[in-house]
Structure 1
Amino acid sequence: MALFSDQPGDEGLPGRERRLATIAVMTTTTMAVFDGSMVNIALPQIAKALNVTAGASVWVANGYLLSAAMTLAIFAALATRLGFRRLFTFGLALFTFSSLGCALSSSLDMLVVMRIVQGIGGAATLSIAPAILRTIFPNRLLGRILGMNALLIATSTAVAPLLGGTLLSSLGWPWLFAINVPLGVIAFLLSLRVLPANQTSQSKPFDYAGALLSAVMLGALIVAADSFAKADAHELLSAAAYGLTAIAAAGLFIWRQRRAAQPLLPLEMFASSRFSLAALTSLASFVSQGITFVALPFLFQSVYGHSVFVSALLFMPWPVGIMLAAPHAGRLADRYPPAMISTVGLCVFAAGLILLALLPEQAQTWDIALRSLICGLGFGCFQSPNNREMLANASREHSGYASGVLAIMRTFGQCLGAALVGVILSFWLHTGTGVVQEAQAVRMSLWLAAAATILAVGFSSLRNRRRLPQRA
């Protein structure tokens, strides 16, 4: 396979070690994707098994998301001090151990605590996984491996609901977490053996003030988005308080980063307009994806009246489209300007979202599937070239930071998108209840997703105009 063949002058690992390191990183990524996708469908069963309310069980999902979001920037900074291998294996061990703890939990409190720990372990691995891929692969293959990574995530997303349903019906909810244990042990042993021990800078002081401010800023943003989506008077006041806290922490964080001798997140990375535009493009596109992934289940089930199983099948064309497009987009990004390929993909993605928003009142399943497939093809064409652009326009010593920024853009884009759908649904359902109001809210959400994607097209197009040279 070309990904694991060697050529004179290649950076990174030799072919055989590169293969094993890729298995370790991608196994870890698969676990994280499965865990996030499968747990949501198990919340009703978890609530019943632990004898808690449905509202309380939501913290099984939110605890993971909150702890991961609060620590992403911290782990991106620690990577340069501890080294990629040490931090990755620590996060993987923590994720695996806490997965076992989740499986053995006998109360909601214990399960939520284990999920918070699991989120910390997941953040330690996911924040630097793309940077590790850049370390173990030569530049000539960077776009291709990032395309394969996008393909893996899409495949895992498509398979996760079916695997989760099978485990729930045959073995029960603890096995959603227990399945991570053998996979985690294998990935951990491979990581110890083959991941390179890159140079570290342990002598540099750690920016504790910046770490605290980043955790407060990111955590408050997540909680504010969650509260704002509920849209009742009390929750809106809470959302405003958390939002103001996040804004104040953000201002103090930027002030601190400009003055710290060794900042948590070097702001000079954003001096590269190509890096900054790639980050903004990623944020806007994941806002769009977050909106769509929350809105479509309401469209499929509440408006069109499909069953949960049929709704899951209607979701399949989206990841299938990514699976078809991402590997080819990654290869093209190694030969042609990645920004151009990303922009084309975003245009296709926007067209697919507009087609979804224009679905008739009585749509055929094949018509829905075709429009979802177009969205997936566009997003698959966009994602890996844009990720390549971000990593390639950060210096190698800043790879860990760039990888962390990529993870933060993805996390907060999806959270913001989900919150916006909650606000739109609450507003429309306050005007009346019924299928008509829900259909209007869903269509408005899809139009908003299309608008966010058009904004991403604008950010991405600016890179094509500038045509600045890429860093090696």
Structure 2
Amino acid sequence: MQEENDGLPQPQRLWAVLALAVSIAMAVMDSSIANVALPAIAADLRVPPSDAILVVNAYQIAVVMALLPLASLGELIGHEKIYRTGLALFVIASLFCAMADSLAGLATARAVQGLGAAGLMSVNTALVRFIYPQRLLGQGVGVNALVVAISSVLGPSVAAAILSVAHWPWIFAVNIPVGALALLLAIRFLPATPRARRPFDAASAILSAATFGLVMTALEQFARGAPAWQAGLILGSGVLAGIALVRRQAGRAAPLLPVDLLRIPVFALSVVTSICSFAAQMLAFVALPFFLQHGLGRSQVETGLLMTPWPLVLIIVSPLAGRASDRLPAGLLGGLGLGLMATGLALLAWLPDAPTALDIGWRMALCGLGFGLFQSPNNRALLSSAPRERSGGASGMLSTSRLLGQTSGAALAALTLRLAGENGAMRGLGVAAAIAAAAALISFSRLTARPR
């Protein structure tokens, strides 16, 4: 086994980075790649649009349930084992997603796919530490963050490209050859990582999965119109599990849920900002396909293309914002960015009658500009506000906050579509704008928060 900070020699490092980049891009992209196809999936499977969003939520809930337990398990049996197993499960589940002929079957396959994705997301950042030498670690973290940032918004564009030549099952089937190639690279080139000498805290893992799973399921059930008592019972159970989890983690040297870090004001504010911003983004990404296709009469392919300016601008802005965060406060950059995103979302919600592609495109670009200004500085603030020895816990919370936001956003989208009917997509964009504006205010509050 290699030394902790030695990194890999070339060309093994290049192939290992490629394995990580391809697989994590698939896992992150699959959070939103089905959004453009949701209207077609709902029509094909003969279910209401609000029910079709279960295809998104099943994936998100499974990921957020398994993320922290798998991150902890990776420290005990090796991060590379968790990664390879997760990737193999993701590829197999993608096959069953493509073959599904009912909403129940597709949602079940998506949940299993989410468990595989959790294996990738939980240890991805930790593996970067063992792939790059210490002197190049910042470069490795930057590359990884850029892949995640681009993949999180590129789903609709990739889906549009696939749907222009094939039916919706192919947005899942395309993962099979790409994932198989990434798995071969992962088996061959990922390094073995050190194993911690402590028992696996199974009780905390179960409580963590129950907390996140029950709370997110309660939101999903409420959004789909389940009886209030039923959603309330599930939510109450999740809250009780969360209380038990927090009490169990108190005083532990390496808690599965890093409650110690949440006592740091800048860290806690950065987590809340991340949850709100990703909720706004996912709410918009679910609402926009329905808005563009049902409200404006655009095709699936046109929808994906019209959403493309968002990720294109993000690709340009993210690295520039990351460099700017070395000189300017993350609270300022994030607040300005989220303010621009809120403005773009509000302008999309109130488009003029019969808008042109340009009318839609520049508003999408404004959203991408705002999100790009926010994400890299926020990630840097979140990671750097935690002590160096707790960087693993900080990394886990970074992924968890993103997934909590995305799952909440998808649930809110289902709720607005159910309650507002034909105007649900437009109302959803308005709600997303309000959430982004609130996130901007939270980001600005970091300018006066204590660093520790």
TM range (shorter): 0.7 to 0.9
Please name the residue that 1:145 is paired with: 143
Could you tell me which residue of structure 2 aligns to residue 119 of structure 1? 114
Deviation, 1:371, is 1.1
Q: 1:379 aligns with which of 367, 371, 381?
A: 371
Residue by residue over 1:134-179, the C-alpha shift from the partner in whole angstroms, topping out at 9 and shown as x without a partner, is 554435436632453245415742432124314634xx72x44443
Q: What is the Cα deviation at residue 283 of structure 1?
A: 0.5
Two-structure CA RMSD over aligned residues (Å): 3.3
Superposed displacement of residue 399, structure 1: 3.5
For the 8 Å contact 2:310–2:364, the answer to whether it is kept is yes
Change (3 A) 1:140 1:216: closer
Specify the alignment match of 1:461 in structure 2. 444
Which structure is larger by alpha-carbon Rg, 1 or 2? 1
Shift of 1:207: 1.9
Query: In the alignment, which residue of structure 1 is the partner of 2:71?
Result: 76
Alignment-mate amino acid for residue 269 of structure 1: L
Deviation at 1:72, TM superposition (A): 1.3
Cα 1:375–1:44 change in 2 (3 A) is closer
- The yes-or-no answer on 1:206 pairing with 2:204 is no
Does 2:223 align with 1:225? Answer: no
Deviation at 1:83, TM superposition (A): 2.8
CA–CA separation in structure 2 for the residues paired with 1:278 and 1:457: 11
**Are positions 1:394 and 2:386 aligned together?**
yes
Gaps (5+ residues) in structure 1? 1-9, 430-434
Q: How does 1:301-320 map to 2 (within 5 A)?
A: 301-320=293-312
Q: 1:315 is aligned with what amino acid?
A: M
Give secondary structure in 2 for the equivalent of 1:54.
coil
Task: Tell me, in whole angstroms, the C-alpha distance in 1 between the residues paired with 2:451 and 2:106.
Answer: 49
Instruction: Return the alpha-carbon distance in structure 1 between the equivalents of residues 285 and 429 of structure 2.
Output: 10
**Counterpart in the other structure of 1:346:** 338
TM-score of the two chains, using structure 1 as the length reference? 0.81
Specify the alignment match of 1:162 in structure 2: 160
**Structure 2: gaps (5+ residues):** none
Aligned partner of 2:25 in structure 1 is 30
TM-score calculated relative to the size of structure 2: 0.85
CA shift digits 1:241-293 (9 cap, x unpaired) = 22222222222221221265753223222233222221111001112112222
Change over 3 Å in CA distance of 1:39–1:449 after alignment to 2: closer
Quote the Cα distance in structure 2 between the aligned partners of 1:358 and 1:43.
Answer: 23
Alignment equivalent of 2:433, drawn from 450, 460, 471:
450
Aligned to 1:286: 278
Q: Counterparts of 1:419 and 1:110 in 2: how far apart (Å)?
A: 20
Q: Is the 8 A contact 2:64 2:213 kept in 1?
A: yes
Q: 1:313 to 1:179 in 2, by over 3 A?
A: closer
Alignment of 1:174-323 (within 5 A): 175-201=170-196, 203-231=197-225, 234-258=226-250, 263-323=255-315
Supply the distance in 2 between the matched residues of 1:219 and 1:372 (Cα, whole angstroms). Answer: 32
Q: Name the amino acid aligned to 1:24.
A: A
Letter of the 2:115 counterpart: I
Letter in 1 for 2:211: M
Q: In 2 relative to 1, CA 98–287 (structure 1 residues): closer, same or farther, beyond 3 Å?
A: closer
Verify the 8 A CA contact 2:293 2:303 in the aligned structure 1. Answer: yes
- In 1, Cα distance between equivalents of 2:104 and 2:241: 29
Alignment pair present for 1:414 and 2:406: yes
Counterpart code for 2:142:
R
Q: Could you tell me whether the CA contact under 8 Å between 1:145 and 1:330 is conserved in 2?
A: no
Q: Distance in 2 between matches of 1:398 and 1:408?
A: 15
